[in-house]
Structure 1
Amino acid sequence: MHVSRRSGTHLFPLALLEDSIVSHSTSKDLYKAPRTDISQNQGKFRIHFNFPGRNHPTHDDHGYGPLSAVVESFMDPGTLIRMHPHQNEEIISWVPTGVMRHDDRDGNKLVTDQDHLMIMGAGSGFWHAEETLQDDPPLRMLQIFVRPHSLGLPPTIQHEGIPDPTPNEWRTLFGPEGTDNALTVRNDVFLHDIHLADGASVALPTQPDWDTYFYVFEGSIEADSRSFNEAESGLYVGGDELRLSATADSIVVAFVINPAAPITKQGTIGR
């Protein structure tokens, strides 16, 4: 089983990723993982893989239910990732910093930035390229891989403007297909983000019988009397309220996940 995340001809084998061990710190129903050491450096393009299932010490899957991976990606100005294929995965591009330019074989030319979100439902097969121009700012983004409920679905692409963030309030960016969200994925995952000011506190999004994985994109927070710094993550499987308190201006993403959702594991990357 291999990851075919491509820049030119480079491949990153998923077997190597799965063999890496994440250290865990558990308290009650909150499982913490440190900054990942699973990375690939291709010079102007650098990626860091976060696997939510690795937060839990007894979980035997690198993913957690429908959420396969959260990949922190960096592209320098003037970088092209040539046309390459994906299958059987939902790929979400969340871009709080910089500009990501998308091209595909269907003729779509789209720009994703802090005001837009893009979701590619690769389904039976989808080819695309990514680029930053020489005069674009450096790009730092998350590419999120969701496992669809079924194989061979029709390829789709969604690219929509998103509401301006309200300080210290969660913003919902996508939800499962069939919900009233403007952007959807084909399995049971919600994505929320928040810009949390230093000293502010907020409850983590939860839903009965679902679990929540959060990732600190910027800044630092405390939860359950423990610190989570930039690029660290937590998996919360408890039913009670869990509060996040910022110890610096922070940006946090939270995925509310149905761990019992039917999943497939044949994505190009998000297996």
Structure 2
Amino acid sequence: MTDSSPTQTQSRIYTAPRTDVSQNQGKFRIHFNFPGRAVPDHDDHGYGPLATVVESFMDPGTLIRMHQHRNEEIISWVPEGVMRHDDRQGNELATDPDHLMVMNAGSGFWHAEETLADDPPLRMLQIFVRPHSLDLEPGIQHEPIPDPIAGEWRHLFGPEGTDAPLYVRNDVGFYDCRLDAGATTTLPSRPGWDTYLYVFDGAVEVGDEPVGFTESALVTDDDDVAVTATEDATIVAFTINPDAPITRQGTIGR
């Protein structure tokens, strides 16, 4: 029997196995990754303003009917395939590898999601950020993102006022990177903030710690930390201010 509990190395790198928290609704399936659970005795399933990172699957021809979110920022990151969105504000949007969507739900935002019958099977991340205040103005952002460059991090969203193409209303930055096997990069960091990494595909080493497919690592060290791909990998990283003011009344990302 293997130990599936989070582990910590001396360099303050906490790792966690694939989540066992999931829901199966047939053509729509989700796995909840809780960054706070990587840290032993941490009293919050989230980590500061980052509530949860959800691995979502939608089969072709799937409709998630119109529903409301409140008091959370929901980011849809689609590395392959397409997720189709419509809402009560009249938007019809397709999120794919060339676009990112941020739903700033605020006081309330109604939307639906869909894949068409001839769309490919969809696997994506839906990221839930806790806003700094309740009942903010609702809205949606849907923007093109830069083409990926192997071995380089793309900065895709951040707090308001950063150079990222989209924003959330709290202290979280989001990056993605494609690494060829054997390639090394440095984990995004910011002084006084911590970094959460999730392996969407492949496997890496964070420092000297192995992190495999759908596993994660939380780094609470300001030093530069190397990430080396042990096989071709797609990874995402979040820089997080653990002391940011947060709300916990989101529809899902509490």
State TM-score, norm by structure 2.
0.97
Is 1:241 the counterpart of 2:224 in the alignment?
yes
Matches of 2:250 and 2:128, distance apart in 1: 9
Give the letter for the 2:94 counterpart.
V
Is 1:25 the counterpart of 2:45 in the alignment?
no
Give the letter for the 1:26 counterpart.
Q
Give the letter for the 1:250 counterpart.
A
Matches of 1:181 and 1:217, distance apart in 2: 21
SS class of match (1:208): coil
Unaligned runs of 5+ in 1: 1-21
Residue of structure 2 equivalent to 1:214: 197
Match of 2:180 among 187, 197, 212: 197
Residue of structure 2 equivalent to 1:12: none
Give the letter for the 2:77 counterpart.
W
Give the letter for the 2:6 counterpart.
H
Residue 241 of structure 1 and its aligned partner are, at CA, apart by: 1.2
Is the Cα contact below 8 Å between 2:9 and 2:209 reproduced in 1?
Answer: no
Matches of 1:95 and 1:224, distance apart in 2: 27
SS class of match (1:219): strand
SS class of match (1:61): coil
The 5 A counterparts of 1:1-271 are 23-28=5-10, 29-271=12-254
Residue 179 of structure 1 and its aligned partner are, at CA, apart by: 1.9
Q: What is the count of residue pairs matched by the alignment?
A: 250
SS class of match (1:266): coil
Residue 180 of structure 1 and its aligned partner are, at CA, apart by: 2.8
Residue 178 of structure 1 and its aligned partner are, at CA, apart by: 2.0
Residue 58 of structure 1 and its aligned partner are, at CA, apart by: 2.3
Matches of 1:143 and 1:228, distance apart in 2: 20
Matches of 2:103 and 2:117, distance apart in 1: 25
Residue 227 of structure 1 and its aligned partner are, at CA, apart by: 1.2
Is the Cα contact below 8 Å between 2:187 and 2:226 reproduced in 1?
Answer: yes
Deviations 1:193-251 (A, max 9, x none): 00000000011001100000000000000123221111000000012111010011100
Residue 181 of structure 1 and its aligned partner are, at CA, apart by: 2.2
Residue 98 of structure 1 and its aligned partner are, at CA, apart by: 1.2
Give the letter for the 1:175 counterpart.
G
SS class of match (2:231): coil
Matches of 2:139 and 2:163, distance apart in 1: 18
Give the letter for the 1:123 counterpart.
G
Q: Percent identity?
A: 68
Deviations 1:85-139 (A, max 9, x none): 0000000000002110001011100000000000000000000000000000110
Matches of 1:98 and 1:250, distance apart in 2: 18
